[in-house]
Structure 1
């Protein structure tokens, strides 16, 4: 019993070799039966003590070793030299995008790698594959959002311009806000990412499926972050994210919080990204922003971040990230839950956020006529006026009246509709104009939808000063190769580009009504004299048209 107490106190401080040598020396000192007695008292095997006695009487082990060289099983990389090259051949082509790799389109799990290696003649377990991968320097990693794609050449210069403008506003005690639309959310008892503290084995029960329907309630949070005050405002929309909705959100922030926090403000700086409802290319955004400037009396300056850099917008990492963290793992079952969750979001730096439900209707497809847009009081900045501009708090200028369609001399029309030029009688041409006119607007509508992927919700202003009669006439003359576009534009006193834009739809109308057109021999007439030469009998009174 005393020997066991001695061993329990002393052996934990020894390594394997010293423990073996010490027990061997005690057994040798006891003499006959010492190995059995020491083994019973220490818990070590008799074979280990016998090896220690042999080491005491033989050659000592090399320095730094606790066992003789060659002891234990060989590493798998020694018994199977081709294992590591085979493993690297499976891993590296996948990371390099090699489509020939057998695991190119599968998950590179340890089990799948071990199974494939075993099939290739390298039997190995999944745990061994994991150790080998760590030896090769591999580790489990996710993706990293670092590639921004093509960078605009003025990217850094625009950031410098935004910082300088914001610093000037803040130094003058003028408000600077960062705006953006947070990701759209659907209302309902739906699964949401993230986890929250709950009693054990009592998670929040949500719907198994998250299908959306046409009448599914939607949450569109448009946020405004006041950089100087470290306060935020979220206008929770329930319709569509449009330019009108974006400006209405800024208006509500100003009425509820902005004018109270900045009672002496005369100017406002808005920093926004380059897409979405506050896209600088959206005329509706600028139209409603000009109306808000007039209503509030503020001179509004807008600076947009370059394309692909919206993550640098301060609202993203000063406000939206905290809202996302606050409602993680919590189903948004009603607008009340959304508003209360946003309003309860705070940080240790003192962030406070207000929220309000906006039940207004914001229709898609509304547009601004060019004349109305160009009358807005917008002043582009000298540097990148498409990204940086100021709206003055004044009423828009009266738009210039749209020029009415000019009257074309009947003598010129009679000359151009001569059967020798058109290839058909005047009565036949008049009939073609009558039956094709209803199709012209349909063709223009189809072209609009091909370009903008949505139907027009307004009457498109006439893009040509020519009526349908003369537009179809010019298309017929061009197909007949009777006259050049340049000469036709001079005769009709319209722009050549404007005239050329009408030819495509005109040719479609001719094909639609299966009008057989035979080109005239020779080259098209380039001068009025050459045009007269193509008409058997002509009147020189139209020469004053040029």
Structure 2
């Protein structure tokens, strides 16, 4: 192989400057190493560039390959200028005192609240009498095990004691729904995006020296506003649906996004579905404490006829949601380095998102208005066809469709009348309690005896509910998953009192060793209870947007 002429000329220029400073053996070894790096034809090219014989270069190659011991240092060990860290014994402790003020030095150090760059550290050390350069500071820090590091997002806050158990429970719910061919979706709101000529993180290929020009300041354009992408990720189909809103991120907007997914994609992909499982974060517009979220989902269940189960991720684990790393991450990568100049650009960018695993994404623009500050009262919550799971009913609950397919709030009095006159005895129906009246009476007597033995019994104000009704309320809660709101209506009490009752009776049941298994399916007798709750709420019902 012939070495190109321009390479030989480049080598010649380099050798002319360097070789006069080396002795004969150093020249020979250096030329030999150059020839080896060039490969076949290197000896001839190096000899020609250096103006020496090929034997000289070949000898250098042979000497390098012979494995002879190097000559080593040109001066005795210990010669030369001493290192600053060896001469100045106080330099290293002074440096560590600056970079670790919490454990080694004064917590009021002037560099505690500033960027600890090597230049600033060197300047501070010099001011203290240790003349040192920034490069020496960097070398000393590396020797002490320091390196330049960014912040790592790993702290999730305090971990809930049932976090892992909730993840296992959620996984079992996913398996159960998928085994029966019912859809499982993961939902969340993606980061809101500024619409207009604003900087977007990341880089993309552009002609050299011609970056896309964007605004210096990121102030919201009053005309374009923001884009609010709410995503629905179909776990089984590996498909995403993103509803891009223009107004507010409310519970009504979140459920409207799910409704659009079901109408446009879900019911076609799952024509035989009777149930829907939604996995969501614990906060935001779809949080487990958000009343409007449950109200809107009840309307969706009534409209679609689906039994909607919701399982929330434990608090502090939102980044573990499947939609984050299976949909939103790919959308972010696809839009990097590109200003989102209009809502249409955002929709098209999201729609163009794909992945190697076959991800498909559909996006739509939602120009609807979703006002904030909608009040949801206790009566509204009591009227919901909602049951809670036995395990963490606040995180896991079910919204049932009404039997006649209408909205839960429609024609309440007529519905109650169709079920006959209400009687308090209906609460003791064995289909609801799971036991006969005699068994319920025996359990109540046993728990009352345990309660009387508790220290402090009889002190304070008397409870709002008689003890038998306290046992009944807890029984209906554990077996049927009824929340406190409807039970408070049925028993003529308050939500807070019913919550206190749950806590007290559950403790007595645990002491007695009695477990109340949940009903395998909601009994038909629940309809009478629901009708009673709806009959009790005689106030005008507010209209739910797109509910029916």
Task: Verify same fold: TM over 0.5.
Answer: yes
Deviation at residue 99 of structure 1 after TM alignment: 3.3
Tell me how far apart the structure 2 counterparts of residues 109 and 235 of structure 1 sit (CA, whole Å): 45
Which structure has more RCO (C-alpha within 8 Å, separation ≥ 6)? 2
> Which residue is 2:408 aligned to?
396
Do the aligned partners of residues 98 and 189 (structure 1) sit closer, same or farther apart at CA in structure 2, a change above 3 Å counting? farther
> Which residue is 1:365 aligned to?
373
Do the aligned partners of residues 96 and 297 (structure 1) sit closer, same or farther apart at CA in structure 2, a change above 3 Å counting? farther
Deviation at residue 6 of structure 1 after TM alignment: 8.1
Deviation at residue 92 of structure 1 after TM alignment: 1.0
> What pairs up with 1:19-58 in 2 under 5 angstroms?
none
Deviates more, 1:237-246 or 1:88-97: 88-97
**Count of aligned pairs between the two proteins:** 366
Which of 156, 171, 196 matches 2:164?
Answer: 156
8 A Cα contact 1:220 1:240, kept in partner: yes
Tell me how far apart the structure 1 counterparts of residues 157 and 413 of structure 2 sit (CA, whole Å): 43
TM-score (norm 2): 0.62
Tell me how far apart the structure 1 counterparts of residues 413 and 105 of structure 2 sit (CA, whole Å): 59
> Which residue is 1:246 aligned to?
254
Alignment of 1:210 with 2:209, yes or no, is: no
Which of 27, 30, 55 matches 1:12?
Answer: 30
Do the aligned partners of residues 274 and 109 (structure 1) sit closer, same or farther apart at CA in structure 2, a change above 3 Å counting? same
Q: Look up the SS of the partner of 1:113 in the other structure.
A: helix
Which of 315, 323, 327 matches 1:315?
Answer: 323
Alignment of 1:263 with 2:241, yes or no, is: no
> Which residue is 2:304 aligned to?
296
Deviation at residue 495 of structure 1 after TM alignment: 9.6
> Which residue is 2:228 aligned to?
220
8 A Cα contact 2:243 2:365, kept in partner: yes
> Which residue is 2:132 aligned to?
124
Alignment of 1:114 with 2:122, yes or no, is: yes
8 A Cα contact 1:169 1:176, kept in partner: yes
> What pairs up with 1:53-202 in 2 under 5 angstroms?
67-93=75-101, 99-202=107-210
Q: Structure 2: any 5+ residue segments left out of the alignment?
A: 1-18, 34-50, 54-68, 415-460, 465-491, 497-548
8 A Cα contact 2:197 2:215, kept in partner: yes
Deviation at residue 288 of structure 1 after TM alignment: 1.2
Tell me how far apart the structure 2 counterparts of residues 267 and 177 of structure 1 sit (CA, whole Å): 11
Give CA deviations for 1:257-299 in whole Å, capped at 9, x if unaligned. Answer: 1112112211110000011111122221111111111111111
Tell me how far apart the structure 1 counterparts of residues 493 and 181 of structure 2 sit (CA, whole Å): 51
Tell me how far apart the structure 2 counterparts of residues 318 and 74 of structure 1 sit (CA, whole Å): 57
Give CA deviations for 1:34-63 in whole Å, capped at 9, x if unaligned. Answer: xxxxxx999xxxxxxxxxxxxxxxxxx999
Give CA deviations for 1:369-423 in whole Å, capped at 9, x if unaligned. Answer: 322321111111111111101111115277699xxxxxxxxxxxxxxxxxxxxxx
> Which residue is 1:339 aligned to?
347
Q: Look up the SS of the partner of 2:150 in the other structure.
A: coil
Deviation at residue 65 of structure 1 after TM alignment: 5.3
Deviation at residue 147 of structure 1 after TM alignment: 1.3
Tell me how far apart the structure 2 counterparts of residues 497 and 313 of structure 1 sit (CA, whole Å): 32
8 A Cα contact 2:184 2:235, kept in partner: yes
Q: Structure 1: any 5+ residue segments left out of the alignment?
A: 16-39, 43-60, 402-485, 499-546
Q: Look up the SS of the partner of 2:30 in the other structure.
A: helix
Tell me how far apart the structure 1 counterparts of residues 276 and 95 of structure 2 sit (CA, whole Å): 61
Do the aligned partners of residues 497 and 274 (structure 1) sit closer, same or farther apart at CA in structure 2, a change above 3 Å counting? closer
Do the aligned partners of residues 151 and 335 (structure 1) sit closer, same or farther apart at CA in structure 2, a change above 3 Å counting? same
> Which residue is 2:335 aligned to?
327
> Which residue is 1:425 aligned to?
none
Tell me how far apart the structure 1 counterparts of residues 111 and 154 of structure 2 sit (CA, whole Å): 26
Give CA deviations for 1:232-279 in whole Å, capped at 9, x if unaligned. Answer: 000000001111110000000111111121122111100000111111
Deviation at residue 198 of structure 1 after TM alignment: 0.8
Q: Look up the SS of the partner of 1:93 in the other structure.
A: coil
Tell me how far apart the structure 2 counterparts of residues 222 and 236 of structure 1 sit (CA, whole Å): 6
Larger radius of gyration: 1
8 A Cα contact 2:185 2:234, kept in partner: yes
Deviation at residue 96 of structure 1 after TM alignment: 8.1
Tell me how far apart the structure 1 counterparts of residues 104 and 359 of structure 2 sit (CA, whole Å): 45
8 A Cα contact 1:374 1:399, kept in partner: no
Deviation at residue 12 of structure 1 after TM alignment: 2.6
Deviation at residue 175 of structure 1 after TM alignment: 0.7
Give CA deviations for 1:280-332 in whole Å, capped at 9, x if unaligned. Answer: 22221111111111111111100001111111100001110111111111111
Q: Look up the SS of the partner of 1:153 in the other structure.
A: coil
Tell me how far apart the structure 2 counterparts of residues 314 and 96 of structure 1 sit (CA, whole Å): 43
Q: Look up the SS of the partner of 2:295 in the other structure.
A: helix
Deviation at residue 14 of structure 1 after TM alignment: 9.3
Do the aligned partners of residues 355 and 41 (structure 1) sit closer, same or farther apart at CA in structure 2, a change above 3 Å counting? closer
